[in-house]
Structure 1
Amino acid sequence: MDIAALAAWVVTALGGFVLLARWIARGGLRGQQTGAARFPAPLVFGHFLLAAAGLVVWIVYLAADMGALAWTSFGILVAVALLGFTMFARWLPVYRTPAPATAEGDTTPPEAHLPVPVVVAHGVFGAATLVLVLLAAIGVGGS
């Protein structure tokens, strides 16, 4: 279960990197000043940094086999999931509203350019990671 959780976490992180890079490339940081971005930068980077920290804690747990680290990682992951769900809730209205044609002074939110399959896969793998980490922390499938 431990390795399955690690694999799911790594796949989730890869999808997250794609989304983060796309958000930045499409003006996510510039959109903070213009008001075009629906995701506040602290929300985006808080989600990213907490997820990375949780992954590091999980890797240390795998190396040290300390149960407290598994639970710490799970707690961090719950916070990551809450931030991710907040971003998903902010993204839905942007996704549902058709983007206007690109023009001079375009105010299309950068979130409108996020690829839907990657958003969905990131969320599904994130949820799977949360469940697998919980199962590993309570000792299901362990030795």
Structure 2
Amino acid sequence: MDVAALAAWVVTALGGFVLLARWISRGGLRQQRTGTTRFPAPLVFGHFLLAAAGLVVWIVYLAADRSALAWTSFGVLVAVALLGFAMFARWVPVYRTATPAGGEETTPAERHLPVPVVAAHGLLGAATLVLVLLAALGVGGS
């Protein structure tokens, strides 16, 4: 279970990197000043940094086999999931809205996020959360 959680977390992180890179390349950071984006930078980077920190804690748990580290990682992952849900809730209306007449300057950067990557990232994130919980509970052995 431990290694399955690690694999799911790493694949989820790869999808997250794709989404972050796409958001930045489409002007997400520049749009902070104009309010065009619906994703505040602290939300985006908080999600990213907490996910990375939780992954590091999980890797340390795999090396040290201390249950406190597994539970810490799970707690961090819950916070990551909440931030992810917040971004998803902000993304859905932007994606459903027709492209503004003003062109790229008035189109939020998150409008350009690929639906399959968003879906896979969210589903794998949920699977990771469940796998980490099961591993922390000791299901499947360590």
Q: TM-score, normalised by structure 2?
A: 0.97
SS of alignment partner, residue 33 of structure 2: helix
Count of residue pairs the alignment pairs up: 142
C-alpha distance in 2 between matches for 1:42 and 1:86: 12
Q: Which amino acid aligns with 1:74?
A: F
Q: Which amino acid aligns with 2:88?
A: F
- Runs of 4+ off more than 3 Å: 100-103
- How far apart are 1:99 and its partner, in Å? 1.5
Deviations 1:105-130 (A, max 9, x none): 73000010000000000000000000
Query: Could you say which residue in structure 1 is the equivalent of 2:33?
Result: 33
Please tell me whether residue 66 in structure 1 is matched to residue 87 in structure 2. no
Mapping of 1:60-139 within 5 angstroms?
60-100=60-100, 103=103, 106-139=105-138
- The gaps in structure 1 that reach 5 residues or longer are none
SS of alignment partner, residue 106 of structure 2: coil
C-alpha distance in 2 between matches for 1:27 and 1:40: 12
Deviations 1:69-124 (A, max 9, x none): 00000000000000000000000000111213674x73000010000000000000
C-alpha distance in 1 between matches for 2:118 and 2:57: 25
C-alpha distance in 1 between matches for 2:68 and 2:79: 17
Give aligned-pair identity as a percent.
Answer: 84
- The gaps in structure 2 that reach 5 residues or longer are none
Please tell me whether residue 4 in structure 1 is matched to residue 7 in structure 2. no
C-alpha distance in 2 between matches for 1:102 and 1:123: 30
Q: TM-score, normalised by structure 1?
A: 0.96
C-alpha distance in 1 between matches for 2:3 and 2:31: 38
The CA RMSD measured in Å over matched residues stands at 1.1
C-alpha distance in 2 between matches for 1:30 and 1:17: 19
SS of alignment partner, residue 105 of structure 2: coil
SS of alignment partner, residue 70 of structure 1: helix
